[in-house]
Amino acid sequence: MTIGDHMIVRPHTMMAADVVVRDYGTVAAQVFLGRRAVIEENAYVGAGAKVRG
């Protein structure tokens, strides 16, 4: 797992193996990031989202 600089990760978020979260983004509460998911720079992932790689 790689988490970039100045990221906001809210409570109850789960991240599987091999996830990449780039700089300056926000991952809201209760998000699931599946294996090999990539969240790009400045992205916002809304509450309750499920992202597959």
The predicted pLDDT at position 20 comes to: 95
| Cα 36 from Cα 27, distance rounded (Å) | 16
pLDDT of residue 1 exceeding 90: no
Section 8-32 average pLDDT? 96
| Cα 20 from Cα 38, distance rounded (Å) | 5
The predicted pLDDT at position 53 comes to: 80
Collapse the DSSP code of 42 into the 3-class scheme (helix H, G, I; strand E, B; otherwise coil) and give the result: coil
Section 40-45 average pLDDT? 97
pLDDT of residue 38 exceeding 90: yes
Q: Quick one: which H or E segment has residue 50?
A: strand 50-51
Section 19-24 average pLDDT? 96
The predicted pLDDT at position 5 comes to: 97
